[in-house]
Amino acid sequence: MWLALASLAPSVASAWCQSLSVTRATGRCDAPCLSLSDFSAEEIAERRIAPLAWRQPCIRWTLHPRGTDDLPRDAVQPVIAGAFSRWESVDCGGAPVGFRVEEREVPGLLCDYVDFDRDRPDMNVILFAEDWSDRRLDPRAFALTTTWFDVPTGEILGADIELNDERRTWAVCPEDGCRDGRIDLENVVVHELGHFFGLAHSPDDALATMWACAEAGETFKRTLEADDREGWCAIYAGALESTCSPPPAGELPLRCTFVGDDCAETEPAACGYCEDLGSGPVCTIPCESDPDVCPDGFACEPLGPGDAPRCVATGCGCRVTSRSPGASWAFALLALSALARRRRGSQRRR
């Protein structure tokens, strides 16, 4: 089952929001939270609506080898590591909540599209996307976080962050910000990691790191505010599993494959299956439970009498990232957007 959703759920007496497995389009910096109380018990059960959060305390991440032309890799890595530490070190009743975040380098990683397969080892990837418009992502967004979660429970299984490297110029700005239009990397990454960990946009506090909008060059979101810390502790204090079982290192697929890509039947495919559909072996995926999973140019049809339906090319050749057979998980999309100049309430002044 597949969804492409993002959403928000507030605590009772504060502005912080937790992501849900459903969303509503707003386009506003101060859009109100979407909470479980907005749905009937029947809707929650029927749509399997749940708040999103990690349960596994061990998390691995990697910075895609391609990086960005704007900054050297040895300047980017410590910014991201420091941003993770900012969240990890939040004191919840005298101690951090217990995440164990580890950076791993993945030599030879070529795939630069976000994807997730529950049946094989996964790595949470942070990458600079220089083909932002080709990915059909919001041109206003500085970055986008894709969070992969279990549909019935809301447990986060993985998350990837794409940074807009086509329309933005990245920098490590001075403490008081950049005034030349460049974007402070730390400001954006700390915000996106809030989404990574299941927090959604705070609608009431323009000082919060999780406020939905930002101005070019600002650095206010580098530090967590009371609202951010309160949300973090409410979600995670005492909630994580006590043991770690991270996926084994060194078994990650290094290249992307897409529905319709050529593949060899004798080799494992990174997509669902590698099958000969009449013109040579190509990647395909099952679609019986969700016919809409097939991209443009493909139809959900059986390969032969008695065969389970697969995505079969109809002539267009368009591509989308592959999706796992029988997946019982979905993904959520959350972004930090550029602020329109007319919205005065977004600037944090100290």
Say if residue 5's pLDDT is above 70: no
What tens digit of pLDDT does each residue of 318-350 get?
Answer: 222 333 333 344 555 666 655 432 222 222 222
- pLDDT score recorded for residue 328: 45
* Residues contacting residue 134 through CB under 8 Å, at least 6 positions apart: none
Tell me which of 32-36, 169-173, 222-226 is least confident: 32-36
In this predicted model, which residue has the larger pLDDT, 251 or 9?
251
**Residue 5 corresponds to which amino acid?**
L
pLDDT tens digits for range 258-289: 666 666 655 544 555 666 666 677 777 666 65
AA letter at 321:
T
20 token code pair: 């849900």
Give the model's pLDDT for residue 324. 33
pLDDT value for 179: 93
In total, the chain counts a number of residues equal to 350
DSSP string, 198-244: TEE-BSS-TTSTTBSEE-TT--GGGS--HHHHHHHHHHHTTTS-SS-
Percent of the chain with pLDDT over 70: 68
What are the pLDDT digits (tens) for 23-82? 776 667 888 888 898 899 999 898 888 999 999 999 999 998 889 999 999 999 999 999
- The one-letter amino acid code at 172 reads V
pLDDT of residue 341: 29
Q: Backbone dihedral region of 201: left (phi > 0), alpha (psi from -120 to 50 degrees) or beta?
A: beta
- Report pLDDT digits (tens) over 92-125: 999 999 999 999 887 667 677 777 766 566 789 9
Q: What percent helix, strand, coil does the chain show, rounded to 5?
A: 15, 25, 60
Q: How confident is the model at residue 256 (pLDDT cuts 50, 70, 90)?
A: low
Q: Which structure tokens are listed for 21? A: 């497995």
Task: Write down the pLDDT at residue 344.
Answer: 24
Q: Give 244 or 324, the one with higher predicted confidence.
A: 244
Measuring CA to CA, which residue among 110, 91, 50 is closest to residue 329?
50
Two tokens at 8? 């928000």
Amino acid identity, position 171: A
pLDDT of residue 309: 79
- For residue 336, give Cα distances in angstroms to 6, 102, 256: 13, 24, 26
Domain range summary for the chain, segments of one domain joined by +: 17-250+329-346, 257-320
pLDDT beyond 90 at 88:
yes
Which tokens hold the place of 270?
């990174």
> Any idea which architecture 17-250+329-346 has in CATH?
3-Layer(aba) Sandwich (3.40)
Amino acid identity for residue 265 in this structure: E
Q: Please report, for residues 123, 125, 137, the alpha-carbon distance to residue 167 in angstroms, rounded to integers and kept in the order given.
A: 26, 20, 11
Cβ atoms < 10 Å from Cβ of 212: 25
The per-residue pLDDT for 249 is 40
Three-state secondary-structure class, residue 131: coil
Read off the amino acid at residue 246.
P
Return d(Cα 190, Cα 90) in angstroms, integer: 13
d(CA 67, CA 89) in angstroms, rounded, equals: 26
What average pLDDT does range 220-228 have in this prediction? Answer: 94
Mean pLDDT of the chain: 77
Selected residue with higher pLDDT from 301 and 340: 301
Compute the distance between CA of residue 249 and CA of residue 55 in angstroms, rounded to an integer. Answer: 20
